[in-house]
Every structure is written in structure tokens, then in C-alpha cells.
Chains A and B, each alone.
Chain A
């Protein structure tokens, strides 16, 4: 398969003076037309199926006018539940963990532990840990399960579908 043989073929094609893109489009069209023709001849779908419950829901969630308000409302509820709802367990956790801190401090005093050790372990390590847990754990324990549910219910994919255009405009995908 020498270069010369190849260029002979190529020049032959060039001599035909064709627009490759146009030819390609025509080929694809011919393929699709053939497929359509065969499918039409051999398929009978007896009746148009009624829109199912899921499809109705789908149209609602991805509709032009209702899609975004529904999305904002939904995410708004999730955030509201997370932020407001987390306050109560947070307060309880903090109360509990700092109650333990008091007792630990008492223990250190009773054992006559040096002040630097008490400061490092209790005021440093324990208190930081207690704050982080009481502030971070409840919102996470509320937010992520709800988000997982939204994902599994197919609501998040619809949000993604709604936002597709914006991501495209922002250059996030092509």
C-alpha cells in the first residue's frame, strides 16, 4: 500500500469534485430514511400510551416556567430543614459534650495533673473536637440523607437537566 497508490486514489476522488461533508450528510440521511421506512412497515403501536404518573411529574419539574421555581423551592426547603433543624441536635450535643468536659476537668484537678497538660488535652484537644462535632455533625447527618433521597428520586438529575444550558454558557461543557 504505497504512498503513490494512495495518492492515485486520492486524486481520483478529488477529480470527482465532491463536497465530503455534503456526501456524509446524504449518506446519514439515506441510512435514517431506510431505517424509518423499515420500522414503519413492521411496527404497529396500537394506541398512544397515556402519560404515566412519572412522566407528568417529569414535565412539571422540567417545564420552562415551573422548573426553576420548583427547583429553588425544593433546594430552599432542603437548606431550611438542614439549617434550622440542625440547631436542636447541635444544642443537645454541645450541652452533652461540655457536660463531659466539666467532669474531665474535675478529674484532672482531682488527680493534681499539671496545668499545661490540662490545658493541652482538655481545653485544646477535647474542646475543639467537641465544638466541631456539635456544630458539623447534625447538619451533615440531615443534609446528606435528604440529598441522597433527592438523587434517588430522580429530582437532582432533573435539576441538572434544567441547569444544563447555564453550564454550557459558562463553558463548563461543550
Chain B
């Protein structure tokens, strides 16, 4: 694979998210609002019949499955359904930490085509964390029935991400999705998705913190998006360093275990 997952230690980090690093598959994360057919897409891709959800009374489980496209096996991880990545609930935190630290090769944001505006919020937050994002517009049949017309080309231009319309219930569009994922994994397309431009007040402060972070932690840049980290610090998240330490400590510990085994 073109991506240097192993060398950067991401594989070990992934193991702490319960993703088997030794398989060395590209990881595809499915993110999306609740009730957008995320699990249907997951089942359609992997062929695994599985019920996932995070309503009260159901535990937040992380479903994963596998599929093969052009003789390459992929690991698909179904993230909990969330409306944002602001980490104000456990589900949001799980989704955020996975995209941030396990660094999936591709993150597919599954959106409800009948309610695109609300779904775009999540996409905009995902693109802050990762460049390799695909927008999967699900429930296209519903949108058609409700007379909602979406300008796919215009949307793709605005967002600068590949867009795949699907009707997951009928397994329509899923092979297109696999094709797009394959292209991104093999780096046949370079993505530079839209980044939210915050008000100048916020941007000024980000510009003050980013150099400081780079100075204090010169190695961090390799692992996470510094601008994103600065934004989290600005909104008062003081636990972010603990999460970082946790993740990279786990990483280091695992490394030692591996070394000893060899």
C-alpha cells in the first residue's frame, strides 16, 4: 500500500481500537448521522448481517467487517452514529478518536440525501481531521420521492470531496463507492477537501497557538492535525493531551511487547 501505516506506528494504535494491525488492510471508517442507513451501507459492503445502533439500552459497539475489491481486502469499521465530532457524548468521542488516532485510509461520511444540510455539518468536521473523505449520499430514492434535487457536481465542487449517490437498501451505488475508495487508497486521486474558515477572531487565535504547538511538540505534526488540535484547545478541551498521551503511550507499550516477541 502506498500509505506508510506500519512505519508510523499507526498499526499499533489501531490495535488499541480493536483493529487487527497484522492484517495490514486499508481501513475504511463509516461515519454518519443516526438513521442515514449507515448500517445498511455497512452490511451492503461487507455482506455481514449485523444490527448496530446506539439508542438507550444498546451498548455502543464498534462493528467491523471485511470486503475484497480487486483482490485487495479492506477492513470496514462502523462508527457510532453522531451528529457532530465535538466529543460531547461517548459516541461522538469514539468517532472522533477513531478518525483522529486510528487514521483510517478512507472515511466515508454517509449522509441522508433528504436532509443534507444537517448531515453536512458532520462532513465539515470530518474534513478538519482527515483529507481522505468520501461523501456517500444515501437514500437517494427518498430524496427523489420528496422532489429534492441535489446538484451533485456543484456539491462536489464546493466540498472538494468525491460524492457517491447510493440507495443502500437496494445495494445501488455500492460498487461505485468501492471503486472510489480503491482510488483513494491507491492514491490515484489526491484530495484537498473543504476546510471551514472560522471567523477572523478565531483564526487569529489559531495562528497564535499553532506555532507554539509546533515548537513544543515538533513530532506531533506527523501524527495529528495541529490546526485541529489548536481549535480543540481554543474551545477549552484540556483533556486532549491526556487522550494523546493515552494513545501514544499505548503505542509505545505495544511496541515494546512486539520487540520482545521478536
Contacts and interface: CB of A to CB of B under 8 A. Distances in A.
Interface residues of B, number: 44
Nearest to B208: A16
Contacts of A133: none
A10 B201 CA distance: 19
Interface stretch (A21-29, A64-72, A77-85, A106-114): A21-29
Contacts of B205: 16, 18, 23
Contact of B245 (A1, A9, A36, A38): A1
A39 B151 contact: no
Contacts of A42: 116, 150-151, 154-155, 158
Contact of B201 (A26, A36, A47): A26
A44 B235 contact: no
Nearest to A46: B147
Nearest to B157: A42
A27 B237 CA distance: 14
Contacts, number: 108
Contacts of B213: 9
B200 to A, nearest CB: 11
Contacts of B158: 38, 41-42
A33 B231 CA distance: 18
A46 B149 CA distance: 7
A88 to B, nearest CB: 39
A49 interface: yes
A24 to B, nearest CB: 4
Interface string A1-31: 1000110111011001010110110111011
B238 interface: yes
Interface of A: 1, 5-6, 8-10, 12-13, 16, 18, 20-21, 23-24, 26-28, 30-32, 34-36, 38-47, 49
7 contacts: A1-B217, A9-B233, A12-B209, A23-B234, A41-B158, A43-B151, A49-B147
Given A20-B236, A35-B123, A43-B149, 12 more contacts: A1-B217, A20-B234, A23-B205, A23-B234, A23-B235, A30-B196, A30-B199, A31-B121, A31-B125, A34-B120, A34-B194, A45-B148
